Amino acid sequence: MSDESGYDYVVVGGGTAGAVLAARLSEDPDCRVCVIEGGPSDVGDERILRLRNWINLLGSEFDLGYTTVEQPRGNSHILHSRARVLGGCSSHNTLISFLPLPGDLDEWVAAGCDGWGPDVLLPYRTRLQNTIVPVAEADRNPIAEDFVTAAADALGVPVVDDFNAGVFTEGTGFFSVAYDPATGHRSSASVAYLHPVLERSNLTLRLETWAYRLLSGGDGRINRVRVRNADGTTSVIRADREVLLCAGAIDTPRLLMLSGIGPADQLRALGIEITHDLPGVGENLLDHPESVIVWETGRALPPNSAMDSDAGLFLRRDPGAERPDLMFHFYQVPFTVNTERLGYPTPEHGVCMTPNVPRARSVGRMWLRSSDPEQKPALDFRYFTDPEGHDERTIVDGLRIARRVAATAPLNAWLVREVAPGPELQSDEELSAYGRRAAHTVYHPAGTCRMGAATDPMAVLDPELRLRGVEGVRVVDASVFPTMPTVNPMVTVLLVAERAADLITGRTTTDAGRPEGAR
């Protein structure tokens, strides 16, 4: 093909996982790596690099902005932000950074993912190149400090100095964040992994380039990607070794389905030629749903902060549990996008807590609406539909616990009134109805190309991340998760990508490539 160019590896998606793979694979000067990224570069762009600007990126030109189908028991108006920029969501989110809990990874092994237990994956933390530190003292806003004190006193949980220093079951404190406290800049996957190696002659970045179909080389092996270039033309990029899909939990299954890889009956009904019947593609859509409770403060808050959601809280409602089952982010801004729609006022100065379901039992799915690559897929998270009512109960309990913290000194001295849902809502039924209608997401879709055992008919990948029944393709992003980690998942994605680099190259030492001073 005259419009075809070839490399050893083609990485589809220059996001959190794709940046890691591109950097690691191109360490071999004889290995040619091409990264296909649908968005622009983040290099030198202060809008992206300044971490505290994250909230202004939502709904911006850097946001793909996916919506959901009707959510009868949840909020149908959530905008699921997915980043359109080099570095992916690590260039777009708050960069709250937790190592996965050992119990989360034990669940993966129990789900048939041999080789992904805590003894294997957690040592890869020594390879991470990001600067991950607890929020710096200079960025610790006094109201966030008072939230931590109040939460510890009200609930009897410990104050945690560094959530990544050891395994925790519950606690409150300032988060660890991937950033440079001196500049306020991100330590995203792009900044940490790609910026230092952009001059490598064997690394090619194809920016503003959108992959929309995988192609066979004629022997049944998938080794080509058809793309639309920045100028509107199309071309084909060939992978002589492997195609590595890192487009995220929405766009990776979307690309597979557009290529005829997925649930055959659904794709056939859209007129898509079937390449391989793989019914699990698009299923097992996971998220961390949360709601919000808003207070007005009596005055403007001090201006210092890392990213306005610097502190939080983890709780076990079952004292015998080994992992938290309720989480809160504490926002130093009134996050009212959903409460405004319900008619609540927006205070000039305010804060909020967001009770979060760490391991939601409601599971959704995504699918194609048509064979047109330009049409966005349908997302159905099925929020708050688990038969036992676990997710709904978690939100109700969380709203009540948030009120306990807000009524406790020294935080209570800051607060004038509860704006949403308001103190008049007291019953379980009232709090559930409000909590579900005001629900939001922490932008953590996952699971739609999950890995699993050979005996699992809905597993899309084997435990080495290879696409089932198709040669030449691996998936490396949050879509591979069989179950959702308790914590914010970005670091888990980084660890998965670091291990994937070893699976791809056959390297076994976890110390390879460890930078000086890495945590």
Instruction: Write out the DSSP string of 334-367.
Output: ---HHHHHTT----SSEEEEEEE-TT----BEEE
Tokens standing for residue 129? 């190149």
Q: Which amino acid belongs to residue 253?
A: P
List the one residue out of 101, 96, 104 whose CA is nearest residue 169.
101
Instruction: Write out the DSSP string of 215-249.
Output: EE-SSS-EEEEEEE-TTS-EEEEEEEEEEEE-SHH
Which sign does the torsion angle of CA 115, 7, 478, 93 carry? positive
Backbone angles phi, psi at 400, to 5 degrees: -65, -40
Bridge partners of residue 467, in order along the sequence? 461
Residue 496's contacts (CB-CB under 8 Å, 6 or more residues apart) are 17, 121, 476, 477, 480
Place of tokens 């406290």: 181
* Dist. CA 469–CA 461, nearest whole Å: 9
Please check whether residue 438 is in contact with residue 421, taking contact to mean a CB–CB distance below 8 angstroms.
Answer: yes
List the one residue out of 323, 333, 405 whose CA is nearest residue 58.
333
Place of tokens 């490539």: 513
CA 70 → CA 304, 345, 383, distances in Å?
39, 25, 10
Q: Which amino acid belongs to residue 383?
A: Y
* Dist. CA 144–CA 315, nearest whole Å: 18
Instruction: Write out the DSSP string of 112-128.
Output: T-TT-SHHHHGGGGGG-
User: Which one of 92, 288, 329, 444 is the catalytic residue?
Assistant: 444
Assess whether 329 carries a catalytic annotation. Answer: no
Secondary-structure breakdown of the chain: helix, strand, coil percentages, each rounded to the nearest 5: 25, 25, 50
* Dist. CA 264–CA 257, nearest whole Å: 9
CA 167 → CA 11, 40, 98, 348, distances in Å?
33, 38, 10, 39
List the one residue out of 227, 252, 253 whose CA is nearest residue 239.
227
Q: Which residues are catalytic?
A: 444
